[in-house]
Structure formats: C-alpha cells, structure tokens
Structure 1
Amino acid sequence: MLFEPWCDSGKTEDNQKQLWKLTERAGGRAAIAANLPDCIRSHYDDMERIAEEIRELGYPHAAAILAERMPRSARARSGELGEILATELVEEQLGYTVPVRRLRYKDGREMALRGDDFIGIRVDADDHLHFLKGESKSRAALAKATITEARTALSKDGGRPTATSLLFIADRLMDHADERRTLGRRIRNEVATRAAPAGRVGHMLFTVSGNATPQALLDDLQAADAVRPHIAVHLRIEDHQEFIKTSYERALALGND
C-alpha cells in the first residue's frame, strides 16, 4: 500500500464525475520511505531480475544496470514519477489492474513513450471488459494549459484507448502461457471490434504539483462529457521538485534501504 499510509483524501462526486484531492499527511512520507524505492524500481525492471543481478554482480553493478533504465533529467523524472504514482493509485484504490509496466520498454532513458500514459483494465461480474484511459501530468506549478493538453489527449480516438496502446499491452500479455495470454487475446479482439460502449471506458486525469488544486482542474472536470465515468485527481506535494529528486536518488541506491 502506498497512498493509504501516505495521503489524506478528500473526494467529491457528481453523477459519474469524481474529484480527488490528495495531500500528504503528517508523517506520511516517512511511512512510505521504505516502500517507495522498490515501487519505483518495479516500474523499470522486474524485481526478481534485480535481485538476481545483486546476487550475480553485487549492489554497485546491479545499481549501474538499473541506472541505465531510469531518466536523469528532472523533466523526464517528473513525468515518469507521475505515471508511476497514477498507476499505483489505480491498482490500489480503483479495482483496475495496469497489467504492463510500460516504462520497462522504453527505447531511450530520456525518451517519452507514445500513446496513453496508462490504461487500467478490469473484468466485471458479467465478464465484460472495462477500460480506464489515463493521462498523468506532473508540474511544479499546475496550470490550465497543462490540464487542457491532458484533456485533449483523453478525448482523442473518440475517448477510447488508442489501438496502438492496447495492442502494446496485448502483445506483452500474449508472451505468457497463462491467464495473461487470455486477457491479451481479449484486448486484441476489442481493438478489432470496438465492442466496449462509452460507459465501460472511463477517463482519469492524474495530476501532481506543488501548488493547490487549481480551479482549472475543477472546471475541466465539470465540462467533461456525460457519456462515461471521469475521475480527476490532484496530489499536492509542496516540495515537488525536491521530492522527485530524492525519490530517484533513493531508488538508485541499491543496498542502502
């Protein structure tokens, strides 16, 4: 668990639209200090593989391999930590799974991945697929232009997850010989048939910044379409840039936690 011990949450709901305001509680950051480094590492590499490299090579060389996967620039780290935190929140509190850690598949340490930032997937009691199309934005100061940019991305492709993003997930899942392959097959079928109605394709806008929740985020949520569920999340971290810097430094310090 990451958010439960870390943040206080204020939630408001109007029909299918939810606004979540998350703030760090007193002592919350200390409560996740032991878990956050592994959480970050797990988005860049398989934890069993990291453990194997520690056994084979020792901590310094294992850390060197991990460092080749993680970005060095403050901008890239900010964006990717936003995506990591959004993924963790989706799985922890919304009942979806994000079945592929896509940051493991980057073709360059500083390169931004194309496609949807994250896609949550769940199967309901009637065996219907549900999707959560997500955009994450991390800024020292969150402003209207960034929120508008994210909403534009969510609205593309008729509000559905992009076919490219879904096929990327499906292909990774179909590399396995268990139930993940079955889910991958279903996702590929969905790309072909576009069977899921709008009500089974929700949108989530996850934001993290140093400033208080801007009015622009509330206005954007209010103006969102009424044909699907919407969640807007704002996580306030007052020392936003220092938090990101420290988080990556600790994630890279194998053997020190």
Structure 2
Amino acid sequence: MGLYERWCESTKEKDKRKHYWTYVEKDGGRDEISGDLAETIRSHYDRLERIAEDVERLGYTVAAKILSEAMPQTAKGRSGDLGEILATELVEEDIGLRVPVRRLRYKDGRNMAMRGDDFIGAGYGGKDEKLWLLKGEAKSNKKLGKSTVNSARKVLDRDSGRCTPDSLLFVANRLLESNDPAENALGRDLRDEVGVKSLRADRIDHMLFTVSGNGPHASLREDLDAAGTNRDHYVVNIHVEDHQDFIAAMYQGAEDLGDA
C-alpha cells in the first residue's frame, strides 16, 4: 500500500483530460506514514545506501550531521522542498510515470531554491509506447491563495507548455551518467527531445501540485476550468491543517538517524 493510500482520504474527479484531486489526512494517517516519509525525505537528498555507509563508518551522530548539511534549515526552504518531494511521490504512486532524478541531491546550497521545472515525470505510453512527459510545479503554503496558483500556472505555460530545455537536459544528463542501460536509453530520448522538440502537447501533461494549511482554495478549481484540453491536467491539493508544524516534525524525523 502506497504512502498516500495509507496517509490520506482522497477525492478524484475527472472530466475528459482534466483531473482534480484533493487529499485530507486520515485519523491516525500521519502516525502510520511518519517513519516511511522521514526515510523518503532522506532519499531525496542522498542515496539511502550512502547514508547507511556513513552510519557504519562514522556512527549515527556523525552520519546525521552529514545528512543535515544537505537539508534546508529555514522554514521556507523546507516547505518548498517538501512540496517537491510529496509531488514526486504522488506522480510515481498515482500516475505511473517516473520522476527519474531526485534533483534535490544537486542543489547549489541547501537553503536555496533550484531553478527550472520543479519536477519532471517521464516514461513511455500510448499505443506506440513512445516518450511521455509530465511537467510539474509544486507549491507549499500555510495559506494558499489565487496569486500562488496563477504564478504556478504561468510557469507551466511557459516554453509553450514544454519542459524547459535546461530542466530536461539536466535530467537527461544525469540518466546518461548511469550504468543502467534502461536509464541511458531514457536519458538519450530526453536529450533528443531537447533538440528536436518532437513531442506533441498531448504527450506533455501538466500537474499543479499544492500542499496547504487552508485546503483547496477556490482558485484551484478555477484554474483547472480555464485550462486547455490538449493535454492531461492534474490539479492537486494536500490539506495539512498544521502545515508548518507538520513540516518541522517531518524534517526532525528525517534528520534523526537514531542513537545506537
């Protein structure tokens, strides 16, 4: 059972290619997934096997210090990062595309936001099983409002709705560095797409992902209603009432590797 299935009650509405998804925490859901979510957060900043190697060589306390150096220490930085992490997990759990590169591992500074698309889903689909992409923008706010939603939509619409070339090339090059032939093949297809731009709009889906303390603002529905019909649009809200306390607790758990 996936993270979201254990954590939240969901409502999913679909009108042709428009998807409106809302999630609310179940009673006891947070306790159910807190340990797994802490590990998931760690995995977005470093490989779990590398963290385990640090523990074996240096002990839990020093390994935790190393991991902490990769994680943001400001409330704003943690909020933004956790939005991207939760969005990535949702894409892989509920849409079936991969987000093949954990880009938070490559930040210039732990408290700095990364430039480019927040997350890119990739895979193969359709009758021809050819390249399929998802361009995503993630927002995490104590209080979500119309200006934030409008700002996210502008980002999704730029570059004619395509993944920005620098973001796509970043993902492609990381995959081409892998020793896995399947990763190399996907990386090559993504790199080719940067040059030839052959994908039609109907193979580049969009997701506007939000996590907020005030739940789904009316502007989310308005945004989806105004979206075009030439691609799949996913508009998502995760309602976490104690938004800031939740983020602080999840990062505290992620940084705590134990004391053995």
Q: How far off is 1:126 after superposition?
A: 1.8
Aligned to 2:61: 60
Relative to 1, partners in 2 of residues 1:256 and 1:15: Cα closer, same or farther, differing over 3 Å? farther
Structure 2 residue identity aligned to 1:103: L
Percentage of identical aligned residues: 53
User: 2:189 matched to 1:201?
Assistant: no
Aligned to 2:115: 114
User: 2:179 matched to 1:168?
Assistant: no
Aligned to 1:182: 185
Give me the whole-angstrom Cα distance separating, in 1, the residues matched to 2:241 and 2:69: 29
Aligned to 1:30: 31
2:96 match: secondary structure = coil
Matches within 5 A, 1:111-150: 111-124=112-125, 126-150=128-152
Give me the whole-angstrom Cα distance separating, in 2, the residues matched to 1:184 and 1:171: 6
Unaligned runs of 5+ in 1: none
Aligned to 1:103: 104
Give me the whole-angstrom Cα distance separating, in 2, the residues matched to 1:106 and 1:212: 29
User: 2:28 matched to 1:19?
Assistant: no
Q: How far off is 1:47 after superposition?
A: 0.4
- Aligned residue pair count: 257
Moved more, 48-57 or 119-128: 119-128
Matches within 5 A, 1:37-76: 37-76=38-77
2:35 match: secondary structure = coil
Aligned to 1:239: 242
Deviations 1:69-117 (A, max 9, x none): 0000000100100000000000011010000000000010111100000
Structure 1 residue identity aligned to 2:238: L
Deviations 1:136-175 (A, max 9, x none): 0000000000000000000000000001001000100000
Structure 2 residue identity aligned to 1:73: T
Instruction: Give the TM-score of the pair, scaled to structure 2.
Output: 0.97
Aligned counterpart for 2:222 among listed residues 206, 219, 222: 219
Give me the whole-angstrom Cα distance separating, in 2, the residues matched to 1:194 and 1:216: 32
Q: How far off is 1:213 after superposition?
A: 1.1
Give me the whole-angstrom Cα distance separating, in 1, the residues matched to 2:170 and 2:215: 35
Instruction: Give the TM-score of the pair, scaled to structure 1.
Output: 0.98
1:33 match: secondary structure = helix
Q: How far off is 1:212 after superposition?
A: 2.5
Over 6 Å off, 4+ runs? none
Give me the whole-angstrom Cα distance separating, in 1, the residues matched to 2:161 and 2:259: 44
Give me the whole-angstrom Cα distance separating, in 2, the residues matched to 1:64 and 1:34: 19
Q: How far off is 1:127 after superposition?
A: 2.6
2:110 match: secondary structure = coil
Give me the whole-angstrom Cα distance separating, in 1, the residues matched to 2:235 and 2:241: 19
Relative to 1, partners in 2 of residues 1:144 and 1:256: Cα closer, same or farther, differing over 3 Å? farther
Give me the whole-angstrom Cα distance separating, in 2, the residues matched to 1:215 and 1:110: 31
Structure 1 residue identity aligned to 2:46: D
Q: How far off is 1:14 after superposition?
A: 1.1
1:34 match: secondary structure = helix
Give me the whole-angstrom Cα distance separating, in 2, the residues matched to 1:109 and 1:187: 27
Give me the whole-angstrom Cα distance separating, in 2, the residues matched to 1:14 and 1:7: 22
Instruction: Give the alignment's Cα RMSD to 1 decimal.
Output: 1.1
Aligned to 2:252: 249
